[in-house]
Amino acid sequence: MATGGTRGMRLLGGRIPYIDGPLKVTGQAEYTDDIRRPGMLVGRLLRSPWAHARIVSVDTSAARALPGVAAVLTGEKYPTPFGVLPITRDETAIAVGKTRYIGDIVAAVAAVDERTAERALELVRVDVEPLPEYTDPRMGVEKVAEPIHARGLLGTNIQKEVVQHFGDVDVAFARATHRVRVHGRFAGVTHAFTEPLVTIAEATADGRLTVYSATQVPHYLHRALSEVLGIPMHRIRVIKPEVGGGFGGKSDPLPHEIVCAALSIETGRPVKMLLDREDVFYTNHGRHPTDNEVRIATDAEGRILAYDIDALIDGGAWSSFGTVTTYYNGVLAMGPYRIPNFRYRGRRVYTNKPPSGAMRAHGGTNLRYSIEVGLDEIAEATKLDPFDLRTRNALPPNSTTINDFRITSTSFLKCLAAARERSGWDSKFRKLPYGRGVGLGCGFYISGSNSPIHFKPVMPQSTVHLKVDMDGGIAVHSMQADIGQGSNTLLAAIVAEVLGVDLERVHVQRVDSDVSPIDIGSYSSRVTFMMGNAARRAAEDLKAQLLRAASHRTGHPVEQLEVAYERIQVRHRPEVGVTFMEALHAAMERAGALTATGAYSSPPMGGSFKGARAGTAPAYSFGAYVAEVAVDPETGLYRAEKMWAAFDCGRPLNRLAVEGQVEGSIHMALGQVMGESMNYRGARLLNPSLLEYKIPTPAQMPEIEVLLVGDDDPEGPFGAKEAGEGPLIAALPAMGNAIYDAVGVRCYELPITPDRIVRGIEDRRKEGRAWKGA
């Protein structure tokens, strides 16, 4: 049962159990791998064991001759490059000309069963000439003998360079009283969603192609399929079944999706391409390994005067979202504090490794860690409490940042106050015994990218269609992608709230490009804000139709009518009115089934300089987290005991879901802090399994107190902002700063492994610098 909403609302603001919960707890929810089509073939991929090599020849004759093999594909057949960003299309479905990382796809097979497909792959003969390998981005910033891509900047492997300067950073540093420099080093991490990547494609005799895929962004997949396969979009149907988690890892159109479709076209039969876990690790698109240098200047009172930031970002073999990543690693420094002077150089460099891409809190995480650790150092140097330092620098509401970000609502000060009070900070900070500590970290994130990636043709970022027929069920169509975050539930709840009907009347339809109007999908923390506004408008449209009909029936003008539970009634005479069904049937007399549309486009914003749109969003989320840790100084082993997570998502529309996002974000953040790391020896990924790439288990999770303190956002639906990605960010620096409070060791490198803590403790002892008396 949903519990009541807030501020006069029946549902929104309360705790609304996910509408797909019953299907998920019974195993009845249908994921792509659960679907079977008649005569379905098995697709398999041959991956490159070479990091960088010119392909001399690929001999597929023996594989083709194997009984049971229906098709063998190599790169030449579909060489059209694609990529999630139209400006950096540099991937091909299957390698053309050369392989760029261990795991690159060099051939694909469709066969009658798994074993035949695997055997066929063994029969493919690939002849290559090795090329120089570039596995460290530092190797790629100068001119190289064999650039990984021809499009690298001036013969280097630099995929994107961003240089920005606002104000005068050198002058600010010259007059500063305090300066810190943090050199942060961050291993790559990956999404580790539980459902492996999987696609089914079915080319049929009517010249159409149907693709079921585990994707966060059905629309971008739809476009990429059309471009690479040369089939008009209207002849391709993309269906998104239930998706078992994404976190950014299912947001690019991925090569296996296109290869699967190509194999179906080749064979005329349905093909399933299920990637095994190892394949998923090689597909990656996870958080970029990054080196950043963050310099912060403040005055004697701890007011921030300037940031000077340099980031070197390891892109791996493809561009993916990399241009956005390169901007975000600088511009997402623009909150939650006022920054009067700002300089940034970011370089994303291709390497011969699995591609990096977008992962939850994309571009904002590693940067934020270095900034917040640096601010902790400033607080210590200025003898300010870390909370006071941040309070003093908070970005005010309704302001503009120096790079022209429009800030509307912010409840950052309320986040700080709530985290400070609930955590008992003032009685703990620097006061807990040696080995225990508390740390503060803060966060800031976009609530939906203002710029859709594909802006041609001009269209809203989200559209929602409603249809209601005489049965009184409301069908909701939209291409928004529920990947577990509960967007279907929110969509249904918004419609039910506006119309006053029971939630059970609302049926959110599976994403199907034949019937779902376009929403650009689950990335950049955009769905609640954009889809929510579109859904509200669609429901308001439908409500207006019902009110007009009720007005005819009751003889009272529309202005006097209001919606109540399953009813439309006269505002001050609630006994006079009609039921929802009566109003519906009255409205249908002339028009038949009712339909309504709502759409959302973000308002124009951002400056006019190059790259000005990067990081602009119709709203921003804010957070302040306190972590309490216990560190064993002998072994360096530590655990998070408790996390107080104060977050400003505007008004939380479904508290159950927002809490779930915060708790899940903390899990993912703790993974990156406590041990997740894509480990390489040269170009070879050493840990492509969940056994060796360890995500936190239930035993490693702290107690979490979620504090939702946001005020209503003026433009968000019912006052809401994002809660999908921003809640991750503050948890990482809170941990780093808590470890410092516990044992006096600064950690500039993630993951924070116990040996690094022990080494830091030993260094302190050698230098005679006691900490908390130890």
Partner 1 sequence: MPSRAKGGAANGVGPTPSSSLKITVNGLPIDRPCPPERILLDLLREDLELTGTKRGCDLGTCGCCTVLVDGRPTLSCLTLARLVDRRSITTIEGVTPVHGLSALQRAFVEHGATQCGFCTPGFLVTATALLQERPSPTRAEIIDAISGNLCRCTGYTKIIEAIEAAAREGR
Give 389 or 731: the residue with its C-beta nearer to partner 1: 731
Checking phi first, is residue 433 left (phi over 0); if not, alpha (psi -120 to 50) or beta?
Answer: beta
Three-state DSSP state, 772: coil
Judge whether 228 and 258 are in contact, CB under 8 Å. yes
- Considering the rule CB under 8 A, would residue 37 count as an interface residue with partner 1? no
Q: Which helix (H) or strand (E) holds 460?
A: none
| Residue from 202, 372, 648, 659 binding partner 1 (CB under 8 A) | 659
The two tokens of residue 43 are 């697709």
Q: Write down the least CB distance from residue 499 to partner 1, Å.
A: 24
- Considering the rule CB under 8 A, would residue 125 count as an interface residue with partner 1? no
The two tokens of residue 400 are 């503009």
| Residue from 75, 140, 188, 196 binding partner 1 (CB under 8 A) | 196
- Considering the rule CB under 8 A, would residue 681 count as an interface residue with partner 1? no
Q: Write down the least CB distance from residue 271 to partner 1, Å.
A: 15
The two tokens of residue 557 are 């003008």
Judge whether 99 and 53 are in contact, CB under 8 Å. yes
End-to-end CA distance of the chain: 53
**Largest Cα–Cα distance in the chain?**
88
- Considering the rule CB under 8 A, would residue 47 count as an interface residue with partner 1? yes
| Residue from 6, 17, 64, 541 binding partner 1 (CB under 8 A) | 17
Pairing of strands 105-111, 209-213: unpaired
| Residue from 96, 112, 141, 637 binding partner 1 (CB under 8 A) | 112
Q: Which helix (H) or strand (E) holds 697?
A: none
Across 133-163, b (16+ Cβ under 10 Å) vs e yields bbbbbebbbeebeebbeeebbeebbbbbebe
Task: Identify which range of 293-301, 383-391, 431-439, 659-667 contacts partner 1 by CB under 8 A.
Answer: 659-667
- Considering the rule CB under 8 A, would residue 276 count as an interface residue with partner 1? yes
| Residue from 174, 690, 770, 774 binding partner 1 (CB under 8 A) | 690
Give 348 or 667: the residue with its C-beta nearer to partner 1: 667
- Considering the rule CB under 8 A, would residue 204 count as an interface residue with partner 1? no
- Considering the rule CB under 8 A, would residue 615 count as an interface residue with partner 1? no
| Residue from 485, 488, 545, 616 binding partner 1 (CB under 8 A) | 485
| Residue from 61, 65, 113, 163 binding partner 1 (CB under 8 A) | 113
- For partner 1, the binding residues in 155-194 under the rule CB under 8 A are 191-194
Give 205 or 699: the residue with its C-beta nearer to partner 1: 699
What is the amino acid identity at position 761? I
| Residue from 5, 43, 83, 244 binding partner 1 (CB under 8 A) | 244
**Helix residue spans in 143-245 (DSSP H):** 169-175, 218-229
Give 243 or 752: the residue with its C-beta nearer to partner 1: 243
Give 293 or 663: the residue with its C-beta nearer to partner 1: 663
- Considering the rule CB under 8 A, would residue 97 count as an interface residue with partner 1? no
Q: Write down the least CB distance from residue 361 to partner 1, Å.
A: 15
3-state secondary structure 283-295: HCCEECCEEEEEE
- Considering the rule CB under 8 A, would residue 695 count as an interface residue with partner 1? yes
| Residue from 653, 657, 708, 730 binding partner 1 (CB under 8 A) | 657
Task: Identify which range of 511-519, 559-567, 675-683, 688-696 contacts partner 1 by CB under 8 A.
Answer: 688-696
- Considering the rule CB under 8 A, would residue 484 count as an interface residue with partner 1? yes
Give 242 or 715: the residue with its C-beta nearer to partner 1: 242
Q: What is the DSSP string of 735-758?
A: HHHHHHHHHS----EES--HHHHH
Binding mask 532-571 for partner 1 (x = CB under 8 A): ----------------------------------------
Q: Write down the least CB distance from residue 697 to partner 1, Å.
A: 5
- Considering the rule CB under 8 A, would residue 502 count as an interface residue with partner 1? no
Pairing of strands 271-274, 41-47: parallel
Backbone angles phi, psi at 294, to 5 degrees: -115, 120
| Cα–Cα distance for residue pair 108/45, rounded to 1 Å | 4
Query: How many Cβ atoms are within 10 Å of 686's Cβ, its own excluded?
Result: 12
- For partner 1, the binding residues in 385-424 under the rule CB under 8 A are none
Name every residue whose Cβ is closer than 8 Å to that of residue 402 and which is 6 or more positions away in sequence: 166, 167, 334, 339, 340, 341, 342
Three-state DSSP state, 698: helix
Give 17 or 167: the residue with its C-beta nearer to partner 1: 17
Q: Write down the least CB distance from residue 49 to partner 1, Å.
A: 8
Give 85 or 102: the residue with its C-beta nearer to partner 1: 102
Three-state DSSP state, 418: helix
Q: Which DSSP symbol is given to 360?
A: S
Give 116 or 157: the residue with its C-beta nearer to partner 1: 116
Q: Write down the least CB distance from residue 327 to partner 1, Å.
A: 27
The two tokens of residue 364 are 């904002």
